[in-house]
A and B are shown apart, each in its own frame.
Chain A
């Protein structure tokens, strides 16, 4: 069931078209990835969803109606451009932001304490923001986005500046939220995370949609489209076995396997048939392009869907 629906959205600033006729929908309970290079228009889309700015044309529906007050209160937003009042105590900060979302003060205080424990920062609750490290501030900003228990969580580059331990902590919280039925929109340019976290993605470039599907289907599709001509091979035998095979351009030896770079992607099937005769094969795998490869290919090569 679609919880957010954008139809034919366009937006321009001072004669510059930033968003060009974009349509997509986000289903309830999924983690939806919004991808694209810097300046593609991701933040503009998120701001329109939150009614911070309005679109020039097209329609936006959140919870089946145009974005309004009630909708704003049910969305949690972690902007990419974010900060905190430097001289304010972090508890006061969290309570204030929760109150602005319509949560009564007492409830907000309890929730703030709960979340501070969850991100292992309870002992810092009386500190001022300026006394915290940048990573700690990031975590505070993150819980500020979910303190009012929103149905939709919009996070823009949530992991920037976080170390791997804290990145994992935030990922776990997001997965918990998903399990609880929340819808998550994740905007980022780090593809590994998208690949493991997102159910579906929308990739935009220069204000237009270039990809819009599930992660698996996209990778499957681009396995053929991309010039993917490398094979991972684990085998019993000697590297000499590859001599005389013209289709292999290069052999890269790793500890437990070799990577074979072929002249052409079409050579994969004939190669397998030939190798079976020569060595004992343990693993033969055609590498699937990562989202990162696809992303770069699209941005640089200008592929459109």
Chain B
């Protein structure tokens, strides 16, 4: 009772110390705003494009085959307008009879570029594009796709029926369906598809950011206490283990608060954007993985913080663990596309990566229950051993100032 009491005092102090900081408020509320802005800016830009009357872009052409009349196709084919709109412009084709005429038009800025359809076009399919632009132009690629459509239509009109012509231009429009375990078939909507990819990624990101910001606070806290020598005063009142327990509880609560705020903002946001439904069971598992993942990393950070001589040294030592923890993000594509493959299974069982990896797998596939259970069990066992190890390091490391103990000394402490 006494033990928990003191730990709770530490927890409360640590919690308030972080939560009252300006940086915490900035990260907690700034991150979702930043995220929304990244999502919103391209959307808004798109909307503005559709609202505006598109500028008309003029391109000259010289048709040496005499087969094509692009000017009339431009006004007749609505397809062209739509696809060109993507690049914020509409194209007007102006016919010229010779190169000189077209070049003059370019110099006088009547047109921005011109194409030549050579007389052997039907034999080898080459079309030449001349423009003042010397670099790579994305619009030129668009133009190529568009010309293809106009040329197909011109060449095949009257030779095939309209439906066939439509399929030649756009052969496949794939619709996706999923069959669940009881055999019900459901069409995959755009929100499902985005949910499949975005949800695991966002969950993974949130877990990583939260675990690392909270355990980062712990690392900084311990290193600061050592550096400023507060630790000696604190340790005259309570044991290193009580101190460690209190810190982990306090900073774990900071992490939980942060993730709750983010999920709330995210849920509110998603009501407007996408009807993505998060299942309560998934939420519960996310909670379990957060707690275990946090305990694991927090204990590692505490041990590292305790044996390092300064804040700077602590951060260097922690780098390696950060790298391992971020690994699932690098394998995100594998986790989403092959959620039941060997790499995904390994990552979701290995304790340093399992919280993020398993949450990602759960989001995209039905992970066998035994695997979830095994992954949680491995995590719990790892947490247990890391805490024991860390609190020993914590106990001895805290009072050693100036120099970091070498490997031999650390091993000695471990026994």
Interface residues of chain A, those whose CB is within 8 Å of chain B, are 14, 47, 50, 52-53, 69, 72-73, 75, 77-79, 81-88, 96-97, 99-101, 141, 144-145
Smallest CB-CB separation from B401: which chain A residue? A81
Per the bound structure, the CA–CA distance linking A82 and B21 in Å amounts to 24
Closest chain A CB from B308 CB (angstroms) = 17
With A53-B399, A81-B401 known to touch, is A101 a contact of B232 (CB < 8 Å)?
A: no
With A85-B17, A100-B6 known to touch, is A52 a contact of B229 (CB < 8 Å)?
A: no
Interface residue? B13 (CB, 8 A): yes
Given the complex, which residues of A lie within 8 Å of B225, measured CB to CB? 85
- Interchain CB contact under 8 A, A82 and B236: no
- Interchain CB contact under 8 A, A85 and B2: no
Q: Most B CB atoms within 10 A — which of A47, A83, A145?
A: A83
- Interchain CB contact under 8 A, B6 and A84: no
Given the complex, which residues of B lie within 8 Å of A72, measured CB to CB? 236-238
7 CB < 8 A contacts A-B: A52-B232, A79-B229, A84-B228, A86-B228, A96-B13, A100-B10, A141-B233
Q: From residue 1 to 57 of chain B, which have CB atoms closer than 8 A to chain A? A: 2, 6, 9-10, 13, 17, 21
Interface residue? B224 (CB, 8 A): yes
Given the complex, which residues of A lie within 8 Å of B235, measured CB to CB? 50, 52
Closest chain A CB from B22 CB (angstroms) = 10
Smallest CB-CB separation from B6: which chain A residue? A100
Smallest CB-CB separation from A79: which chain B residue? B232
- Interchain CB contact under 8 A, A77 and B409: no
Interface residue? B373 (CB, 8 A): no
With A84-B230, A85-B228, A86-B228 known to touch, is A79 a contact of B236 (CB < 8 Å)?
A: yes
Interface residue? B234 (CB, 8 A): yes
Closest chain B CB from A71 CB (angstroms) = 11
Given the complex, which residues of B lie within 8 Å of A69, measured CB to CB? 2
A75, A81, A85, A144: the one contacting B224 at CB < 8 Å is A85
Closest chain A CB from B59 CB (angstroms) = 64
Per the bound structure, the CA–CA distance linking A72 and B233 in Å amounts to 12
Given the complex, which residues of B lie within 8 Å of A73, measured CB to CB? 237
Closest chain A CB from B158 CB (angstroms) = 81
- Interchain CB contact under 8 A, A81 and B232: yes
- Interchain CB contact under 8 A, A100 and B228: no
Per the bound structure, the CA–CA distance linking A79 and B238 in Å amounts to 15
Q: From residue 231 to 259 of chain B, which have CB atoms closer than 8 A to chain A? A: 232-238
Q: Mark B185-228, 1 if CB is under 8 A from A, else 0.
A: 00000000000000000000000000000000000000011011
Smallest CB-CB separation from B395: which chain A residue? A53
Per the bound structure, the CA–CA distance linking A183 and B58 in Å amounts to 97
Closest chain A CB from B98 CB (angstroms) = 78
Per the bound structure, the CA–CA distance linking A136 and B116 in Å amounts to 85
Given the complex, which residues of B lie within 8 Å of A85, measured CB to CB? 17, 224-225, 228, 230
Q: Most A CB atoms within 10 A — which of B233, B235, B238, B401?
A: B233
Per the bound structure, the CA–CA distance linking A69 and B1 in Å amounts to 12
Per the bound structure, the CA–CA distance linking A79 and B401 in Å amounts to 14
Per the bound structure, the CA–CA distance linking A84 and B231 in Å amounts to 9
Per the bound structure, the CA–CA distance linking A87 and B230 in Å amounts to 13
Closest chain A CB from B19 CB (angstroms) = 13
Given the complex, which residues of A lie within 8 Å of B21, measured CB to CB? 87
With A69-B2, A97-B237 known to touch, is A82 a contact of B10 (CB < 8 Å)?
A: no
Per the bound structure, the CA–CA distance linking A202 and B399 in Å amounts to 24
Smallest CB-CB separation from B232: which chain A residue? A79
Per the bound structure, the CA–CA distance linking A97 and B243 in Å amounts to 13
Given the complex, which residues of A lie within 8 Å of B6, measured CB to CB? 100
Smallest CB-CB separation from A82: which chain B residue? B229
Given the complex, which residues of B lie within 8 Å of A78, measured CB to CB? 233
Per the bound structure, the CA–CA distance linking A141 and B224 in Å amounts to 17
- Interchain CB contact under 8 A, B409 and A14: yes
Closest chain B CB from A187 CB (angstroms) = 13
Per the bound structure, the CA–CA distance linking A54 and B250 in Å amounts to 28
Per the bound structure, the CA–CA distance linking A278 and B234 in Å amounts to 66
Smallest CB-CB separation from B9: which chain A residue? A99
- Interchain CB contact under 8 A, A100 and B230: no
Given the complex, which residues of B lie within 8 Å of A81, measured CB to CB? 229, 232, 401
Smallest CB-CB separation from A80: which chain B residue? B232
Closest chain A CB from B392 CB (angstroms) = 14
Other A-B pairs beyond A81-B232, A83-B229, A101-B237, 7, CB < 8 Å: A47-B399, A72-B237, A82-B229, A86-B228, A87-B17, A100-B234, A100-B238
Per the bound structure, the CA–CA distance linking A241 and B169 in Å amounts to 131
- Interchain CB contact under 8 A, A50 and B224: no
Per the bound structure, the CA–CA distance linking A87 and B232 in Å amounts to 18
With A88-B17, A99-B9, A100-B238 known to touch, is A79 a contact of B228 (CB < 8 Å)?
A: no
Closest chain B CB from A216 CB (angstroms) = 32
- Interchain CB contact under 8 A, A144 and B233: yes
Closest chain A CB from B209 CB (angstroms) = 23
Per the bound structure, the CA–CA distance linking A97 and B399 in Å amounts to 19
Given the complex, which residues of A lie within 8 Å of B224, measured CB to CB? 85-86
Closest chain A CB from B264 CB (angstroms) = 28
Per the bound structure, the CA–CA distance linking A144 and B229 in Å amounts to 14
Q: Mark B42-81, 1 if CB is under 8 A from A, else 0.
A: 0000000000000000000000000000000000000000
Given the complex, which residues of A lie within 8 Å of B237, measured CB to CB? 72-73, 97, 100-101
Given the complex, which residues of B lie within 8 Å of A75, measured CB to CB? 236
- Interchain CB contact under 8 A, A77 and B230: no
Per the bound structure, the CA–CA distance linking A144 and B227 in Å amounts to 19
Given the complex, which residues of B lie within 8 Å of A50, measured CB to CB? 235-236
Per the bound structure, the CA–CA distance linking A82 and B399 in Å amounts to 12
Per the bound structure, the CA–CA distance linking A83 and B230 in Å amounts to 5
Given the complex, which residues of B lie within 8 Å of A141, measured CB to CB? 233
Per the bound structure, the CA–CA distance linking A73 and B238 in Å amounts to 9
Closest chain A CB from B296 CB (angstroms) = 27
Given the complex, which residues of A lie within 8 Å of B229, measured CB to CB? 79, 81-83
- Interchain CB contact under 8 A, A52 and B230: no
Smallest CB-CB separation from B234: which chain A residue? A100
Closest chain B CB from A81 CB (angstroms) = 4
Closest chain B CB from A154 CB (angstroms) = 8
Given the complex, which residues of A lie within 8 Å of B238, measured CB to CB? 72, 100
Given the complex, which residues of A lie within 8 Å of B10, measured CB to CB? 100
Smallest CB-CB separation from B409: which chain A residue? A14
- Interchain CB contact under 8 A, B2 and A52: no
Closest chain A CB from B272 CB (angstroms) = 39
Per the bound structure, the CA–CA distance linking A145 and B232 in Å amounts to 12
